[in-house]
A = this chain, B = another copy of it.
Amino acid sequence: MQLKELSERTGISAASIKFYLREGLLPAGESVHATRARYSTRHVSRLRLIHALRSVVGLSIEQIRPLVKLADDGAPRLEILAAVQRTVLGLTALNTHNGDVRTRAGDAVVRLRNWPDAPSDARAALDAHVSLMESLGVPVTTELLDAYSKALDAIADRDINATAAPEDTNELILTAAVGMHLHGQLVLKLLALAQASHAIGRYTKDA
């Protein structure tokens, strides 16, 4: 298949496909001649991945690049999933805002929940975030962490069991990223509803 067909199949403009090629998100097709290239179904699934990552998950080109690189390098599944989590849930190095992470909230949580005591991106991000909150004057008590983590423990248990593992690495990243993002947003929206409901309950009680 050549560029035009690739464009028609995915619904992504030829100009955009060229852009993704330039940006290194989409590997070059098999160059038949100087002015002819052949693309495979891999390119189709890659384009679908890029599109979903942009339009559903809202990632930038710069965030997508290392993810697809992992796929192209044939990185192990666990590594890929860790990278996806890092990116989708905003576990960036940016979160270690001023460098001084005073709290070790992660320690407290893994003890409370009896989770394995291994360092991870999620744990570092948690520490950094709690540190940020405290620096902004929003207190985070151990009690709060206990309540939150207890609730999320149940959710994570359920989530992890639902993770299938497709053959195609593009598919793997797509389902993992989309799933994580959508579940994260779902949790946020349910939290909003819960808060609103509790607020209503409280205000009607007062009235």
Contact = CB atoms under 8 A, between A and B. Distances in A.
Contacts of A187: 148, 152, 187-188, 191
B129 A189 contact: yes
Interface in A123-178: 123, 125-126, 129-130, 132-133, 136, 138, 140, 144-145, 147-160, 178
Interface stretch (A6-14, A22-30, A60-68, A108-116): A108-116
Q: How many copies does the complex hold?
A: 2
Given A152-B194, A199-B81, A201-B115, A136 B188 contact: no
A155 B193 contact: no
A184 B148 CA distance: 11
Residue from A129, A178, A182, A198 whose CB has the most chain B CB atoms within 10 Å? A198
Nearest to A204: B116
A91 interface: yes
A204 B113 CA distance: 17
A194 B154 CA distance: 9
B133 A200 contact: no
A120 interface: yes
A181 to B, nearest CB: 10
A194 B114 CA distance: 11
A183 B194 CA distance: 13
Given A89-B192, A193-B122, A197-B110, A129 B185 contact: yes
Interface of A: 56, 78, 81-82, 85, 89-91, 106, 109-110, 113, 115-116, 118, 120-123, 125-126, 129-130, 132-133, 136, 138, 140, 144-145, 147-160, 178-179, 182-204
In order of increasing CB-CB distance, the 9 nearest A-B pairs are A151-B151, A156-B194, A115-B197, A122-B192, A122-B193, A160-B198, A156-B195, A122-B196, A89-B192
